[in-house]
Structure 1
């Protein structure tokens, strides 16, 4: 739903450099913090359907029952779509004298417990919606909503989430309209909600999948993995009354690139699908699904299952695409190459030996050939290629696969080859002067962490890979060596960041032992000619000194 305001009214996004600082100050909780009991024990990205994109606030028991029926009859349930999520508009905002939510029984005969029971009777799971603030989206952004106050849970967290659990709901989505307007701190509010869900689960024995819908404004990828199953990373993919736009799909995909935060049971959420909505072609539907699948993102449909074309049904229920999305490793795909601007290659490790999912994405206005090289995928030797949407094996290829991709579209592949014992070109980068290794402190994966010199230990944080796109990647290609803030001045910190293919992540390894930034033309430098453990690595004007000379693995 349009849980966020229009682009003009939406709160401004914090600058990228601030995100890095916040991540550091937050203690790198993105991957280190254990999930609390509030995070339901799911192991794959949620799949299901949500009411907002097609119905907005115009929902009642008939609408929800019809779509639940269609989820079954269309084959979507058999393909894995299991949640029926009731979004905003289900509640008038009224409470009784005891503060309990009052439900309009004309719209919901038997109350919300009855609709949850109906959904369960279809072999599906039931989801419900609220806001972290005292008032909700309908109060602050009435366009497309029934205009009513009091649609949030703030001040009633324990009461409301216990009620949701008692009604029988298996999934709860918590929006941020009230939280944003009322000046709440997102991490504090959603942690309190997580604790309330934990207490509810302890009383009822019913865990609820917890969806944080905070729009990415306070960098939830840095703290939500410890308290929730999924967290929105951006604004809405569609605003009420608009037609879907590929530019919005791409923007939400880009904003969800936080692979260090994702693990089985905990997922970056680029928002609901617009597959099957009026205005999107079948090719756009497949491109959209390819991007969500390579991301390992939740697949929450927003169309009308009761009224969709055969092509939409086929796309949503494609078992090979779903298998990529639902792969048990739970990894998020990352960009590994961009030979020309807008011609991008993304890869996602899959369970099993030597298996990768690959998306070839053409963001340009003309058809173009895009090449996936096995060296960028961490594969060696010949590899077999399969085109997922065509359902066709393309053959075995020695070192790369190239194909023409139409303008604005994507090709989704699976590639099966041979894993190396280390990534191609993988190994330590050692300083000539110090004899110590280029190291990510503490093995953290937090964006913005400055690299240092450290005794060589062969750890994952010291195993660097030279890619065909001139990146120096670590942690299996999920993070890249990065000139912080795209800096080009002496003293710019050298950090790790999600691989994005930009020039500040491209490096030239030179015959004289130096490593220079493609964007800055400055040298990788052990600060102050330091040789001790913990010496920070920066950019500096190339001067031929030994603290700028490195031993680098062969590409």
Structure 2
């Protein structure tokens, strides 16, 4: 029977399939992002999503110096290095011996002649950077779910954080991915464990002068997007994109893409990680490769290839090294694209604000089983006037269009565009505050679940209190959720909730000069229920009456 291809070995709330999970190695050194608990970084953070290659998807635990050297050579020879792929990440299977009496990691020199310092030296000699793998718990993933190589106890980092990460740095590694198999089995506190690891990496860097990118591979069960931006450069948001013995599936690609939609957590140097790429693996077509890469690019996700660079088709090489796609992914603003329209179920428009005046990347995604026309409207993109359109994969300019662009998208595929228009100023975000209560419109407990009813809460500046007014009259939170009249309700008392943005009229609002926020579909006002002013007061729709519990201050459009 098959063993899942990655290391989500223990049940996780975000599990998508068999148990195992691997983190798509990618990250950057610490923590300019979340304020409170972040330790000061000993090195400058990266400012763009990491690009590179990881050994797991193609080789699992069957790796040695020959495998890694061959793939490093191919990354250079294929043009991947010149396109920006710089990390060569050695995943699980590198460590097959017990610790010595001093608790130090031992290495099989038959597999790694000269030890791990020798393999990092080889990688560096090619102008590339080297990545390594470990686990936050006492034992690594291979201990619980063998992958064809001997598994020894004690191959996780718990109890040896300072010792192990200093050793990785001394060996010359530039990147470290930390899995969660042992952490999950031992029921460790994810935030506390990864924070301790972050601190250990900082101390190691202070001693060696070598920074290491830090990739948290917790699988999303403990909502790392809420805490990892302060301690790491990237964090996995879901289970593995492919499991042992399986072929890649677009359903898994889409599921991981959806699970990574946490735009408010992402900023330059800190990235949601939907897992490594399956582009180029057996079973995926060239069109599926392009769709997969389009979704990762619009997300600003790490681009960590998982194929065999030494054995890939010309079409796979062309897709992975497409400079325009990479430029969308690597845009210096570091934004994550968000859904801005869905005129019909499964026909979706995503946009990403790019650096420069009036520049957007757009993905037209057809999740249905039939070809369909999808329209991107400039009003949904925050653009005014006419705009020019370029098809990234075709490498072709499509022309200048007055207010929108429509094209047919094959079933299960995506079109990646860049659009340049007359207004490059993205909408500003901020709090929506009740005039009567002085409290903020709040998503309870920072949840992102569809249907969560909004409330009043003390203003704290959290992501669940940060709203953005879009040109299409939406009020969005977390980048992907919209203020929504529940079930398209138009009656007094209809709960006001968050829901995936879909462009429907029950998600469109008019912010008036007198402070009311009125539903376009219902013509009812946003209302603090029962004129309540206490924390936890529910927010509903009610007939507009001019009372202060219906008056709000909102961010500028």
Q: Under TM normalisation by the shorter chain, which class is it?
A: 0.7 to 0.9
Residues 7-45 of structure 1 deviation map (CA, whole Å, 9 limit, x = unaligned): xx633349xxxxxxxxxxxxxx97545564278610100
Residues 127-178 of structure 1 deviation map (CA, whole Å, 9 limit, x = unaligned): 0000001011111122556444322110111100000000000000000000
- 2:168 is matched with 164
Structure 1: 5+ residue runs without aligned partners?
Answer: 15-28, 456-460
- 2:212 is matched with 208
Residues 180-209 of structure 1 deviation map (CA, whole Å, 9 limit, x = unaligned): 011101001000100110110010000000
More displaced, 362-371 or 444-453? 444-453
- 1:334 is matched with 338
Contact 2:8–2:239 at 8 Å: present in 1 too? yes
In the aligned structure 1, how far is the partner of 2:217 from the partner of 2:457? 39
Distance 1:401 1:105, change over 3 A: same
1:296 to 296, 300, 308: 300
1:123 to 118, 123, 127: 127
Give the 5 Å matches for 1:5-404.
Answer: 5=9, 10-13=11-14, 31-33=34-36, 36-37=40-41, 41-143=45-147, 146-404=150-408
Contact 2:33–2:267 at 8 Å: present in 1 too? no
Contact 1:451–1:495 at 8 Å: present in 2 too? no
Residues 36-89 of structure 1 deviation map (CA, whole Å, 9 limit, x = unaligned): 427861010000000000000000000000000000000000000000000000
In the aligned structure 1, how far is the partner of 2:540 from the partner of 2:34? 28
Give the C-alpha shift of residue 418 in structure 1: 1.5
- 2:29 is matched with none
- 1:472 is matched with 475
- 1:19 is matched with none
**TM-score for both structures, normalised by structure 2:** 0.84
In the aligned structure 1, how far is the partner of 2:259 from the partner of 2:420? 29
Give the C-alpha shift of residue 535 in structure 1: 9.5
Q: CA RMSD in A?
A: 3.8
Contact 2:132–2:175 at 8 Å: present in 1 too? yes
Contact 1:439–1:462 at 8 Å: present in 2 too? no
4+ runs of 1 displaced by more than 6 Å? 426-431, 435-438, 483-493, 502-505, 510-514, 532-535, 550-555
In the aligned structure 2, how far is the partner of 1:64 from the partner of 1:490? 64
Contact 1:357–1:414 at 8 Å: present in 2 too? yes
- 1:501 is matched with 502
Asked if 1:2 corresponds to 2:40, the answer is: no
Distance 1:200 1:324, change over 3 A: same
Contact 2:96–2:149 at 8 Å: present in 1 too? no
Give the length in aligned residue pairs: 524
Structure 2: 5+ residue runs without aligned partners?
Answer: 16-31, 460-464
Residues 499-521 of structure 1 deviation map (CA, whole Å, 9 limit, x = unaligned): 54387972465999773497x99
Contact 1:144–1:240 at 8 Å: present in 2 too? no
In the aligned structure 2, how far is the partner of 1:55 from the partner of 1:356? 37
Give the C-alpha shift of residue 539 in structure 1: 1.4
